Amino acid sequence: MTTETNTAALPTGKIGDLEISRMMLGGNLLSHYHHCRDQHYVFKLVEHYNTPEKVLETLAIAEEHGINGMNIHTVDWVHQLMKQHRDRGGKMQWILCATASTEGDDLPAYREEIMRLAELGADAFYVWGCHSDGLVADGKIDVIGKCLDIFRECGLPAGVGAHDLEVIKASEANGLNPDFYVKTFHHHDYPSGPQVPPDQLEHATDEHIGYWDRDPAGTAKFMETVDQPWIAFKTMAAGTIPPESALKYIFENGADFVFFGMFDYEIAGDVELASTILTEQLAKDRARPWCG
């Protein structure tokens, strides 16, 4: 399949030893593990559209437009498609998180899954936000450190993911020193966004109300103190914020990279937007210097 390749170069940066496009492909739509609040018909719609062959087409189109990194949920059938893409000559780099249990002194189930994904061809790992949010809330920051140690045993960049900003604060306070962070980040200026101040929101995220970053201004402010590269995700609040608005906000306010969920037909336009916005922002001084 051939498409018209975007003429604007997509800027890249460094995460560990990886040279990564600053816009990467988010994988929830591809793995059918996406957010649609109470519109449950969307699950079947996405499943019927993003067939295995369509996923392979999407990966190829993304690479044609300069995207060379992706994240995707831990689903075996999708990982096999990613491997098939590589077998066809694809060069997409995989930044993955394990979803296995983090129970046990040596994290046996978690270690087993990480080793399997490393053997499959993962290029970097980070602690899944659903894990890290709970671990920090339970006072188990040491378990996140153990996860990072496993990633480092594989010789791969080791990151920490989070929905809750308290995870990043705890990681910094406890000197975990990951190679990168993956943090939710989006503004609240959309019709179904939260209508009350951040301190009145009970949870770090809320699918029903429709937010994945309780306090985006607080996130931006704290991340100014963080030296590691930061990948933003959930930047469109599950499709409710237009791409241009989402990309401008996150890059103006400190993110270095983004996981961006896209259907195949959206990639060309979104890459063009990202290329333009990044080129403009890289030439400016931000409150948070560019990392990576």
pLDDT digits (tens, 9 = 90+) for 200-256: 999 999 988 889 999 999 999 999 999 999 999 999 998 899 999 999 999 999 999
Q: Confidence class of residue 6 from pLDDT cuts 50, 70 and 90?
A: very low
Asked if residues 36 and 47 have their Cβ atoms less than 8 Å apart, the reply is no
Query: Is residue 73 situated within a structural domain?
Result: yes
Q: pLDDT tens, 33-48? A: 777 776 777 778 888 9
Query: Is residue 166 situated within a structural domain?
Result: yes
Asked if residues 119 and 107 have their Cβ atoms less than 8 Å apart, the reply is no
66: amino acid identity, one letter: G
DSSP 240: T
Q: Cα angle vertex 13, ends 12, 16, to 5°?
A: 140
Query: Is residue 206 situated within a structural domain?
Result: yes
Query: Is residue 288 situated within a structural domain?
Result: no
What is the token pair recorded at 217?
A: 């201004």
The pairing of strands 124-127 and 93-96 is parallel
Query: Is residue 6 situated within a structural domain?
Result: no
Per the structure, how many domains does the chain have? 1
Residue owning tokens 């979803």: 99
Quote the domain boundaries for residue 31.
12-282
Query: Is residue 49 situated within a structural domain?
Result: yes
Percent of the chain clearing pLDDT 90 (strictly above): 82
Question: Range with the lowest mean pLDDT among 45-49, 152-156, 171-175?
Answer: 45-49
Identify the pLDDT of residue 3: 39
Predicted TM-score (pTM) of the model is 0.94
> Which CATH number covers residue 51?
3.20.20.100
Crossing angle of helices 141-153 and 108-120, in 10° steps, is: 30
Identify the pLDDT of residue 2: 35
Per DSSP, which regions of 93-192 are E strands? 93-96, 124-127, 158-162, 180-184
Query: Is residue 224 situated within a structural domain?
Result: yes
Asked if residues 194 and 207 have their Cβ atoms less than 8 Å apart, the reply is no
Query: Is residue 239 situated within a structural domain?
Result: yes
Q: What would the mean pLDDT of 99-114 be, rounded to a whole number?
A: 97
Over 70: is that where the pLDDT of 258 sits? yes
Closest listed residue to residue 117, CA positions, set 160, 181, 72:
72
